[in-house]
Amino acid sequence: MKTSLKMLLAFAPALLIAACGGSGDDSFDDRADLADPKVRLLHAVPLAPNISLFRNDVAQSADVTNMPYKGASKYFDDSTDTARWDVRTATSPAATVGSVSFDARRGTKYTLVAVPNAGSLTEVVLIADPYNKGLTSDKARVRMFNAAFNAASLDVYITSPGADLAAASPTFSAVGYKQAQPASGSDSIELNGGSYQLRLTTAGSKTVVFNATVDVANNADWLLTTVPGSVAVNDVKVLVVKSDEGAPATELTSQ
């Protein structure tokens, strides 16, 4: 190996830490597919009891224990094997309300979302993110998930503030209930850090049902999640579930 290449590899981790701001969920290992798998939980079931997360019948960390509605955890490390993940009510006795099994892979981040499901209290939706981000990129990463049972399908626009919606194309098109875009197994879209206007419309129309201005930092990792604002059709709220930046979940206010 040439000396110059050896030096580049030696300095790459330090350069990347500087580029990423040293984030625990955005490290050289994450980007190089060397990091342990990571898992997090989001509670999106209105009026449901608090929930807890179990891996192969073993209770997990305090961050995913007794979690309230609209709560979320930060990522935590997992081992590289196949496991069953159960979401249980934080009641006595506890009841399993949703389960999912998957083979955890290095460099991949997994989000488990508890959502209402017809015929049972809860379904657990799995979103796998391969996290294929460039070693020197400082762009933010964004994904959309529709957990609002009263909004069958939504178009999502992320534009510069004040941009003409009539001339804009959706950033995410026709996001159905319990669906993610990009879909599980695909990377989030990348955006430059800055101020944006987030508008949600009924799919195929320009009828705005949610409108907010958001500031997206470089290297941010956002899961935008709709939840019901009420039982009225298309009355939604939006949660920003953040990877490693402040509170794991914050609620945006529609303007």
What pLDDT, in 10s, does the model give residues 168-200? Answer: 999 999 999 999 999 999 999 999 999 999 999
107 and 162 share a domain? no
Give residue for tokens 């178009």: 155
141/249 same-domain check: yes
Q: Based on the domain organization, do 40 and 108 belong to the same domain?
A: yes
In degrees rounded to 5, what are phi and psi of residue 4?
Answer: -65, -40
Tokens representing 206 are 């320009």
Q: What are the angstrom distances between the C-alpha of 97 and each of 40, 49, 87, 172? A: 17, 11, 6, 30
What pLDDT score was predicted for residue 34? 75
Same domain, 148 and 248: yes
Same structural domain, 109 and 220: no
Residues 67 and 22 in one domain: no
Give every CB contact of residue 9 below 8 A, 6+ residues apart in sequence: none
At 50, is the pLDDT very low, low, confident or very high (cuts 50, 70, 90)?
very high
Last residue of a domain, one of 93, 113, 131: 131
Determine the longest span between alpha carbons in the chain, in angstroms.
Answer: 65
- 57 and 146 fall within a common domain: no
Last residue of a domain, one of 90, 110, 131: 131
Q: Name the domain count of the chain.
A: 3
Give backbone dihedrals phi and psi of 14, rounded to 5 degrees, phi first: -65, -40
User: What is the per-residue pLDDT for 186?
Assistant: 97
Instruction: Give the pLDDT score at 119.
Output: 55
Count the helices and strands in the chain (H runs, E runs). 2, 18
Query: Sheet holding 120-129: strands in order across?
Result: 76-77, 38-43, 109-117, 120-129
Q: Which residue has the tokens 């209770």?
A: 59
DSSP one-letter code for 65:
S
State the average pLDDT over residues 9-31: 48
Strand order in the sheet with 194-202: 172-176, 153-159, 194-202, 208-216
Q: Which two tokens stand for residue 67?
A: 């979690």
Q: Indicate whether 104 and 180 sit together in one domain.
A: no
Alpha helices in the chain (DSSP H): 3-20, 28-31
Shared domain for 184 and 125, answered yes or no, is no
What percentage of the chain carries pLDDT values higher than 70?
86
Which domain CATH number covers 158? 2.60.40.1120
First to last CA, the chain: 57
* Boundaries of domain holding 114: 36-131
Q: Which amino acid is at 89?
A: T
User: Quick one: 127 and 168 in the same domain?
Assistant: no
Peptide bond into 37 cis (omega under 30): no
Q: Which residue in this structure is represented by tokens 């626009």?
A: 157
Q: Looking at residue 66, which CATH number applies to its domain?
A: 2.60.40
Q: Are residues 19 and 5 in the same domain?
A: yes
CB 79 within 8 Å of CB 104:
yes
The yes-or-no verdict on residue 21 having pLDDT over 50 is no
Among the candidates 62, 97, 131, a domain finishes at 131
Residues 139 and 254 in one domain: yes
